Amino acid sequence: MSFRHTTGFTVEFGDCDPLRIVFYPNYFRWMDAAFRQFFEAAGVPSWHETERSDGIFGAPLVEATARFLKSATFGDRIAVDTSVAEWRGKSFVVAHAIRRADEVLVEGREVRILARRHPDDPARIQAAAPPEWLRAKLG
């Protein structure tokens, strides 16, 4: 079974647009923050450590989508449920469900890679296959 983690946020006044609902880019900001919390909660070491052990120094985003089902507003407590939905050769799909209590507001997906330095040009990055220890931690 896949590891799951929930990260909580409070919608602040500055997160909202003139209609007093969350301005949509903030959902992507919360998904990105929840992704990092997900890795930490699963016990994934820091990028400094994984660069030393596996040459991997980050998990850049290569695609992001969202379905906006309902809106949130100032003062709402929201939760972002995060898990890995699919492992691919050199990428993986992260699923997010943003909810207020039991009500799903947004369904989001991110495609990420694990980055390492390109062997011919260290200023460039290259996608790395996820190590088995990472797959085991995240499911």
The two structure tokens encoding residue 98:
């943003």
Find, among 136, 88, 139, the residue nearest to 114 by Cα: 88
Q: Compute the distance between CA of residue 98 and CA of residue 110 in angstroms, rounded to an integer.
A: 13
The CA-based dihedral angle spanning residues 67, 112, 99, 42, taken in that order and rounded to the nearest 10 degrees: 160
Burial category of 21 from C-beta neighbours within 10 Å (exposed 0-12, middle 13-18, buried 19 and up): middle
Q: Are 9 and 30 in contact (CB under 8 A)?
A: yes
Q: Compute the distance between CA of residue 120 and CA of residue 83 in angstroms, rounded to an integer.
A: 34
Running DSSP on this structure, what letter comes out for residue 42?
T
Catalytic residue numbers?
A: 17
